[in-house]
Amino acid sequence: MTQWTSIFLTSLFLLFGQLCSGQIDSLYSIALNKADSAYAFKSWGSQDKPSDKIRFEEAKKLYTIALEIKPKETYPESRIKEIEKILYNFKTRPIYNKLISKADSLFLAGNFLTAKTYYLKADSLYTNERTKETLSAIYALTDATQNSSGDILFIKHGTSFGECSGYCFHETKYTQDLIIHTGKSWNKDPDKIDTLKMEMNIWKNMVNAIDVKAFYMLPHTMGCPDCTDGGAEWLIIGTKNTEWQVEFNYGSDTETTKKLLNLVRQPK
């Protein structure tokens, strides 16, 4: 706390005890203006720096004084809660980052059970979709009995374009017995469904092109599918225990998906 703020707070407490009710509004305005001035630096940048911690604490004390003068006012109370959240982040964000870093390294190394412990600890501090998605993958991988091609029950491949005419949605489901293709139009045209018999050698080639463990490590969304009308594409692998969907920019691939995409990207 700066020397000026210390003097101001001391004087404010002394005055507050001697003021009549008619002077409360004026005193409240003075305290609130000082608090807002102390907090105004936050708008200078988009991120809160650890070096600003003292400045946030000073602003919180000034808003607390304003709230003590008028306990029913919601504005200083909301500012205090906002600052408390920022101060909490100063304390916990470094811990969270370390937990995530450790969890990611364990996950990539295949140590799923220990990685899950670190992800759950991180999630207790900050909940986000990335952590939940990775935990979902861990549960799927650790629940699977073999994580091998023999566990695969079906494969789906699809494409979609938000801005197009005709049949803009296509999805094909492959099983060891059948190939079922579905085409949909964004208009009122009826769905097109075609069914073919699956040839065993084709099915074997498809499942052998999949590393289930590596596929489950992929995020549900990669890139920006169908942004700027570029189209979306996806793969879904269904096993005995669960299914995992990965959506990505139309026409793109990864080392994990390349072999399978080469087999399923056939003219529909």
Q: What pLDDT does 171 receive?
A: 96
pTM of the model: 0.59
How far apart are alpha carbons 151 and 208 in whole angstroms? 11
User: CB of 122 within 8 A of CB of 107?
Assistant: no
Give, for all 268 residues of the chain, the pLDDT tens digit.
455 555 555 555 555 555 555 577 888 888 888 888 888 877 665 566 777 888 888 889 999 988 988 888 899 999 999 899 888 888 888 899 999 999 989 988 888 889 989 998 998 888 877 788 888 888 777 765 444 556 789 999 999 998 788 899 999 999 999 999 999 998 888 999 999 999 999 999 999 999 887 888 788 888 899 887 789 999 999 887 778 899 999 999 999 999 999 999 975 4
Q: What pLDDT does 13 receive?
A: 52
How does pLDDT run across 113-144, given as a tens digit for each residue?
Answer: 899 899 989 988 888 777 888 888 887 777 65
Opening angle at CA 55, ends 54 and 57, nearest 5 = 65
Q: What pLDDT does 7 receive?
A: 53
Opening angle at CA 232, ends 123 and 261, nearest 5 = 95
Paired strand residues for 247: 221, 234
> CB-hemisphere CA count at 13 Å for 38?
27
Nearest Cα to Cα of residue 176 among 194, 193, 151, 159:
151
DSSP H stretches of helix in the chain: 3-16, 24-39, 53-69, 74-108, 112-125, 129-143, 200-208, 212-216, 258-264
Q: What pLDDT does 19 receive?
A: 52
Question: What is the full DSSP assignment across 181-243?
Answer: EEEEESSSPPPEEEEEEPPHHHHHHHHHT--HHHHHTS-SB-S-TTGGG--EEEEEEEESS-E
Q: Using DSSP, state whether 248 is helix, strand or coil.
A: strand
| DSSP category for residue 1 | -
Cα-based torsion angle of the residue sequence 175, 264, 236, 228 in order, rounded to the nearest 10 degrees: -150
How does pLDDT run across 93-104, given as a tens digit for each residue?
Answer: 889 999 999 998
How far apart are alpha carbons 196 and 10 in whole angstroms? 84
